[in-house]
Amino acid sequence: MGRNLLKDQVAIITGAGQGLGQVVAREFAEEGAKVALIEINPQTCAETEKELKDKGYPVLAYPISVTDMQAYRAVVEDVIQKWSRIDILVNNAAIAIYGTILEDNYGDWRKQLEVNLDGYYIGVKSVVPYMVKQNYGRIINVSSIQGFASSGMCGAYNASKGGIIAFTKSLAVELAPYNIVANVVAPGFMHTPMSFIDGVDETTTEEFLTWYVGKRKVPMARTGYPEDVSGTVVFLASDYCRYMTGQVLIVDGGLTSTF
């Protein structure tokens, strides 16, 4: 049910093989955008590409890791060669590894910062020269409510998500002279493959159903779905978002408004 909010805009979306990234890719295409998918999993990357192609949307797919700067740069050059510009970057690909500070290890810390922080930096660094030349750009960095609150068990993930908020504010200040805006979407609970921890869907556990739903700790009394968040990403990518930059839009069913 697209309204052509992104008509002819060229967008790169990372982590587009499943979860939020896949839904954002779908909605961007429905809104008229040309979408370039980046996804480390070649199978899910090809599946999203096929779905969009079969519907007749313009799509390019790149099964690479966001941590590979050389490959990322080659992707950006290819998109520019084929579609001449890059208007939107959605930094979305991230990983979460669970464990307290007593259990986790430095390797896990590094891995998460490499994907969740370095990967976002590499994306911005690769596209920004083209956005500067165009004097136009929209950067949307997907963070999390875990960027400013924690339920424990994922210190490195939280650090990366908080870091992304600070990074986005810096981008907002530095890139405003080039008509490039940078904002953050911070989802709360979201039912995606990432919400499965050790094979258990955290949005269906007894704790979730009694505390977050039953006692309305999430005031909307349900988990979120990628489709609850993707519209906010569309807004931030659209021309409606031309004077807002450096901001964090929280999409959590009210969770962080309670105490």
Among 32, 51, 65, 125, interactor with ligand NAD by CB under 6 A: 65
Amino acid at 115: V
| Measured distance CA(169)–CA(126) in Å, rounded | 18
241 closest CA partner among 233, 251, 253: 233
Per-residue contact track with ligand NAD, 109 to 138, x per CB under 6 A? ------x---x-------------------
| Measured distance CA(184)–CA(134) in Å, rounded | 22
Shortest distance (Å) from residue 124 CB to ligand NAD: 15
| Residue 251 within binding range of ligand NAD, rule CB under 6 A | no
16 alpha carbon, distance to own chain's centre = 9
Judge whether 157 counts as a catalytic residue.
yes
| Measured distance CA(38)–CA(13) in Å, rounded | 6
| Residue 39 within binding range of ligand NAD, rule CB under 6 A | yes
Q: Can you list the alpha helix ranges (DSSP code H) found in 31-136?
A: 42-54, 69-83, 106-113, 119-134
Shortest distance (Å) from residue 179 CB to ligand NAD: 26
Among 95, 153, 220, 248, interactor with ligand NAD by CB under 6 A: 95
Among 32, 41, 169, 246, interactor with ligand NAD by CB under 6 A: 41
Instruction: Provide φ and ψ at 140, rounded to 5°.
Output: -120, 115
| Residue 232 within binding range of ligand NAD, rule CB under 6 A | no
Q: Which residues are catalytic?
A: 157
Residues near ligand NAD (CB under 6 A): 14-15, 17-21, 38-41, 44, 65-67, 92-95, 115, 119, 142, 144, 187, 189-190, 192-195
